[in-house]
Structure 1
Amino acid sequence: MSDYRTNTSRPSGADREHIDEGPNPLGLEGIEFIEYATSKPQALGQVLEAMGFKPIARHRSREVLLYRQGDINVIVNAHGRGAALTEKPVIAAIALRVHDASAAYQRALERGAWAVPVQVEVMELHIPAIHGVGNSRIYFVDRHREFSIYDVDFTPVPAVDKNPPAIAGLHFFGVVQYIGNDRSDDWTEFYSALFGFTALAPETRFGILPKGLILQSPCNTFYLQLIEPEPGVLDVEDDECFQRIGLGTPDVPATVAALRTRGVEFVPSKDPTQDSKGALTRPTMGNAMFELVHHTRG
C-alpha cells in the first residue's frame, strides 16, 4: 500500500495544487465490475443466480466466470491466488470505468497510489491496477461501450443472453468498506486526493444501515460507505476490506418480494416503516451479502 494512504502524507516532490485537474481528475465514469475471489466458485455462482445474475462468459485461460444482470457485472475468480484463496468469498477488486485507462493510472500514481504488477497471458488485455484496501485491487477500464474487455478476454457461454435484464431495475449503488479505528479521515483523504470523492454531510444517509461516512464519486454514479468498528472494539486495522455491494432499486419492497421468490433470504427488519428505504440479505458462505438501497437513477 502507498505511504500516502496509510500515513496521509503528501507524495514527495509533488505539489498538490500543481496536479489538481478538477473535481474528476481521473475521469471516472462509474463501476465496471466487482470481483470476488473464492475457492468455491460454483457455490458463489448459486448465490449470484438467486440474486438475478446470469453466467454469461468464461475467461479464455483462467478459472474466472462473468455474471451479469442489466449493466451490473460481477466476476468470480477462482484462479491462482494460492493460500489467499479461501472458501469464504472476498471482494478482491473493483474496476472503475474511466475515459482513458492509461492516463487515469498514471495520474493515480502521480498522486501517491501504488502500482500492482499485472501478469498478462497471450491474447489478454492489460488492465492497469493500483492497490486498494487490504489485498484488493482497483482497476481502470476504458473499454466499456460498444467494445468491452470481455470481448477479448472471455468466451460467451453458449445459448445464454449476454445482456440479461436486471430484476426490478437493480443497478450498482456503491460499496461498503470496513476500516480500522479512527481511520475515517485517512480513507477520506485517500479517496478524495486520488479520485476526487467528496464526503457527504454526516446527516446524509441511504438505506437502513445509517453508519459510518458516505463518500460520493466525482462522476455522481456511486458511493463508498466507510464504517469503523463499534465503540470499544479493539483495533481491527488488519481487517480492513471491501465488505459488501450496495445495489440500488427504485422499489425496495417489490425487489425484496421478487428475490424472495428466487430463494433469497433477508435479515428481519427492526422497523417496518423503514422497509421502503432498504434491505439486507442474509449472509451466505460466511460473508456473501448484498444491501438493497432505494435509489432512482438520474
Structure 2
Amino acid sequence: MHRSIATVSLSGTLREKLNAIAAAGFDGFELFEADFINFSGSASELGRIAADLGLSIDLYQPFRDFEAMPEAQFRRSLDRAERKFDLMQAMGASLMLCCSNTSPLVKDDPALAAEQLHALAERAARRGLRVGYEALAWGRATSLYSQAWEIVRRADHPSLGLILDSFHTLSLKDDPAGIAQIPGEKIFFVQMADAPLMAMDVLQWARHHRSFPGQGDFDVVGFFAQALRAGYRGPLSLEIFNDVFRETPNRRTAVDAMRSLLWLESQVRERLAAAEEPRGRLPAPTVELCEPPPAPQLGGMGFIEFAADEAAAQALGQRLQQLGFARIGRHRSKAVTLYRQGQVHFIVNAQPDSFARQRFELHGTSVCALGLLAQDPEGAAARATAMCSQRHDSPRGPGESALPAIVAPGGNLIHFLPQSPDIESLLRADFVFDEPATGCEGHGLLSVDHVALGLAVDQLDTWVLFSRAVLGLEPGESLELADPFGLVRNRGLSNAERTVRLVLNASVSQRTQTARTLSRTGGGAVHHIALRCEDIFATVQRMRDAGVGFVPISGNYYDDLPTRMDLAPEFVARLRAAGVLFDRSAEGDYLHIYTQSLEEGLFFEVVQRIGDYDAYGAANAPARLAAQALQHP
C-alpha cells in the first residue's frame, strides 16, 4: 500500500513537515497549497527536497470554485489552472484535487459541471497531468460522492477521476456502499479522516475536529473497504484538519498518522476476509495491506510498578499497607519491593540508576510501568512494534524473568506477562518471598478495576489510537466532566472481557485537578488506580480503621441522590455515613470512593460493581473534583 499524508495534517514549516513525514515511513504526501505559498524555495527545489527524502508528491490541493460557473469566471479559472499546472510540472506532482464549488455564483447544473471539468482535464492531459474531483460536504451544488461520480462519468475524460474523502461522506451520514460500484480505475485518490461525533456545522467540524482513523467515531474501516471492493489501487492518504495537531510536535503526530493507517489497513483486511468467509474464499486483494500479528488477548493487570527513591518507597509502602496490602517479597538483585492483596500486585522500585529512578527524578512518586497478562506475550510485543511502538529491554540478573516490554506514549513501560503459569510463579523468579508474608491483613480488595491517566490535550487522541491499535482495546463514550475550574475530557477503553480497562482524562484548562496533577508529574501519568472489592462498606471501614483518609463528599450530594434515583432512605444513609458515591445504569449499580491524594497527586479509588454496570461513575466526577479542589486549592 502506498501511504501518504497531507501536509496540512502536521505542525511546522514545510521542510519540517516533510522531514517528519519521511521519518515516519510514509511514501509520499499531499501538498496543501498554503504550505507551498509560504515555502521559501521554488517548485523545482521542493521537488528535489522531496526526492532526497524518498517522498513522492502525490497530490496538489486544493483547486477551488471551478466547475458549473458563468463563462467569464470559467475562462479565468482555466488560466488559473494553467499556472497551477506549471508548478505541478516543476515539482513533479501529477494529480490535482479540484473540490466541489462553494461559490455563490455556481449553477446547479451537472451537465455544465461535467462540460467544464472535461475542459480542465483536457488541459491537464496535454501536460501529462490528471485532475481528481471531490465532493465537499458543504458544496453548494455537489456535496455527495454519488453526485461527484455522476459528473465525472458524464465528463468522460481519461484524465478526470473521482477523489473520495471519508469525512465528507461519513459526516453527512451518507451510505458509502455505492462506492463499490464505481470502476476502481476512476477513483484517483482516497483521503481518510476520522472524527468524534459532534452536533455542529459541518464546515467547522471539518476544519477543526478531524482525527486520524481509530481516534474518532466514524466507520472508516467500512468506508475504505468499499473503495477496495471497487478495485481501487491508488494511495491511501490522510487529510486531517485539527487545531491540536497544528500545535503538537510533528514527529509524534507523524508516528500517530502512520500507526492509524497500519491499523486501518489491518482492520479492513479482517473485515473483507470475514465478509468473504461464508463463500469459502478470500477477496482478491487489489493492494497489499498491512497484516500485523493479531491484537493481544489480555487477561488482566498482572502488576503495577511505582517509581520512588528510598524515602518515597518507604512512605508509599506505609500507604499501601494502610490500604490492606501485604509486603510479600524483595527483588533478588534490586531495591524493589513487592506488595499484594487479592490479585493485585504492586511493585515499588527504588533501584538507583534504573528506568524507574529516572521517572522518579522527573515526576516524583508515580506509576512507571504496567504489567499486562497476555495469552502470547511475544506476539503482543511484535504487534506493538508493527504498530510503530518501541521495544524496551530492561537489565536483568541471572535467572530473572525476561518479559517483553514496549514504551507507551509519554514514556512509561508496558510489560506483557504470560497468563500461565500463574502470576505468583512468575514473580518468584525475580523476588525472594517473605514466608509468611508480612504487613497488614487484606481489606477485601480483589483486583485492579481500571487505571486512569491524566494526559495533556495533545496526548488524548494518541492514547486512544495506541490503545486500539496496539492493545486491542475499544473506546467507549466520550464525555466531558465538570471540574470547578474547567472541563475535563474523559474516555474509557477496555477489552471485550473487561479484564483491562483504561480511563483517559485531558483538560484544556490549566486550573483543573487533572491539569494541576499533570503540572506536578510532567504530563501523561497515571493519576489514580481503581481497585475492585465485593463489599465496599466493609472494605472502607477497615481502611478507615487503618488510617486511610478519603475525599470528603458534600452532604448536599446525598440530599440530592434520592431525587435522581429510587433509593431506600436507609441505603442513602449508609452511603452518607461511609462517604461512598453511587451510580446506576440499566445494567447495574456502581459504588465507589476516593482516597486522599499523595503529594504528587496520585490517589486510589475503591469500587464495587453490581450486575453488569459497565461505566466508571462519570456522573459523580463533579462531586469528587469539587472535593479535591477544596483539599488542594
Name the TM-score, length of structure 1 as normaliser.
Answer: 0.85
Q: For residues 261 and 20 of structure 1, what CA distance do their matches in structure 2 show? A: 51
* 1:192 matched residue in structure 2: 468
From 482, 491, 501, give the equivalent of 1:223: 501
Pairwise CA distance, 1:216: 1.3
Go from structure 1 to structure 2 and tell me whether the alpha carbon gap of 1:83 and 1:28 turns closer, same or farther (over 3 Å shift): closer
* 1:212 matched residue in structure 2: 490
Q: For residues 24 and 607 of structure 2, what CA distance do their matches in structure 1 show? A: 34
Q: For residues 172 and 84 of structure 1, what CA distance do their matches in structure 2 show? A: 22
From 323, 329, 339, give the equivalent of 1:51: 323
Pairwise CA distance, 1:187: 1.6
Moved more, 137-146 or 193-202: 137-146
* 1:151 matched residue in structure 2: 428
Pairwise CA distance, 1:98: 0.4
* 1:128 matched residue in structure 2: 404
* 2:301 matched residue in structure 1: 31
Asked whether the equivalents of residues 133 and 242 of structure 1 are also in contact (C-alpha less than 8 Å), the reply is: no
Asked whether the equivalents of residues 267 and 280 of structure 1 are also in contact (C-alpha less than 8 Å), the reply is: yes
Pairwise CA distance, 1:52: 0.5
Answer yes or no: is 1:295 the counterpart of 2:571.
Answer: no
Go from structure 1 to structure 2 and tell me whether the alpha carbon gap of 1:149 and 1:296 turns closer, same or farther (over 3 Å shift): farther
Letter in structure 1 aligned against 2:428: D
What secondary structure is seen at the aligned counterpart in 1 of 2:316?
helix
Asked whether the equivalents of residues 298 and 500 of structure 2 are also in contact (C-alpha less than 8 Å), the reply is: no
Answer yes or no: is 1:9 the counterpart of 2:241.
Answer: no
Pairwise CA distance, 1:230: 4.8
Could you report, residue by residue, the CA deviation over 1:213-244 in whole angstroms, capped at 9, with x for unpaired residues?
11112442131111011546699795111222
Pairwise CA distance, 1:92: 0.5
Answer yes or no: is 1:264 the counterpart of 2:578.
Answer: no
Letter in structure 2 aligned against 1:38: A
Q: For residues 52 and 63 of structure 1, what CA distance do their matches in structure 2 show? A: 22
Go from structure 1 to structure 2 and tell me whether the alpha carbon gap of 1:287 and 1:232 turns closer, same or farther (over 3 Å shift): closer
Pairwise CA distance, 1:101: 1.3
Go from structure 1 to structure 2 and tell me whether the alpha carbon gap of 1:297 and 1:64 turns closer, same or farther (over 3 Å shift): farther
Could you report, residue by residue, the CA deviation over 1:150-203 in whole angstroms, capped at 9, with x for unpaired residues?
1211111132279x9752343210101111125433221110011111111246
Higher share of residues assigned helix: 2
Asked whether the equivalents of residues 342 and 444 of structure 2 are also in contact (C-alpha less than 8 Å), the reply is: no
Asked whether the equivalents of residues 449 and 532 of structure 2 are also in contact (C-alpha less than 8 Å), the reply is: yes
* 1:282 matched residue in structure 2: 596
* 1:62 matched residue in structure 2: 334
Answer yes or no: is 1:79 the counterpart of 2:79.
Answer: no
Asked whether the equivalents of residues 473 and 495 of structure 2 are also in contact (C-alpha less than 8 Å), the reply is: yes
Q: Number of paired residues?
A: 291
Q: 5+ unaligned residues in a row in structure 2: which ranges? A: 1-22, 26-250, 270-289, 482-487, 562-579, 583-590, 613-633
Q: For residues 61 and 262 of structure 1, what CA distance do their matches in structure 2 show? A: 32
Asked whether the equivalents of residues 171 and 248 of structure 1 are also in contact (C-alpha less than 8 Å), the reply is: yes
Letter in structure 1 aligned against 2:528: R
Could you report, residue by residue, the CA deviation over 1:65-98 in whole angstroms, capped at 9, with x for unpaired residues?
1100111000000012355434941100000000
* 1:250 matched residue in structure 2: 534
Moved more, 99-108 or 271-280: 271-280
Asked whether the equivalents of residues 133 and 241 of structure 1 are also in contact (C-alpha less than 8 Å), the reply is: no
Q: For residues 598 and 510 of structure 2, what CA distance do their matches in structure 1 show? A: 27
Q: For residues 259 and 12 of structure 1, what CA distance do their matches in structure 2 show? A: 44
What secondary structure is seen at the aligned counterpart in 2 of 1:85?
helix
Q: For residues 467 and 316 of structure 2, what CA distance do their matches in structure 1 show? A: 29
Go from structure 1 to structure 2 and tell me whether the alpha carbon gap of 1:185 and 1:116 turns closer, same or farther (over 3 Å shift): same
Answer yes or no: is 1:101 the counterpart of 2:377.
Answer: yes
Letter in structure 2 aligned against 1:221: T
What secondary structure is seen at the aligned counterpart in 1 of 2:392?
coil
From 424, 434, 437, give the equivalent of 1:160: 437
Letter in structure 1 aligned against 2:609: H
Letter in structure 2 aligned against 1:98: A
- Report the RMSD for the aligned CA atoms in angstroms: 3.3
Asked whether the equivalents of residues 293 and 380 of structure 2 are also in contact (C-alpha less than 8 Å), the reply is: no
Q: For residues 57 and 35 of structure 1, what CA distance do their matches in structure 2 show? A: 14
Q: Which has the larger radius of gyration?
A: 2
Q: For residues 327 and 24 of structure 2, what CA distance do their matches in structure 1 show? A: 39
Name the TM-score, length of structure 2 as normaliser.
Answer: 0.42
Answer yes or no: is 1:116 the counterpart of 2:388.
Answer: no
Q: 5+ unaligned residues in a row in structure 1: which ranges? A: none
* 2:100 matched residue in structure 1: none
Q: Aligned residues: percent identity?
A: 26
Pairwise CA distance, 1:295: 1.8
Pairwise CA distance, 1:108: 1.4
Could you report, residue by residue, the CA deviation over 1:259-288 in whole angstroms, capped at 9, with x for unpaired residues?
101110001013234624211101134334
Q: For residues 332 and 546 of structure 2, what CA distance do their matches in structure 1 show? A: 30
Q: For residues 267 and 26 of structure 1, what CA distance do their matches in structure 2 show? A: 37
Letter in structure 1 aligned against 2:308: T
* 2:211 matched residue in structure 1: none
Moved more, 67-76 or 179-188: 179-188
What secondary structure is seen at the aligned counterpart in 2 of 1:44?
helix
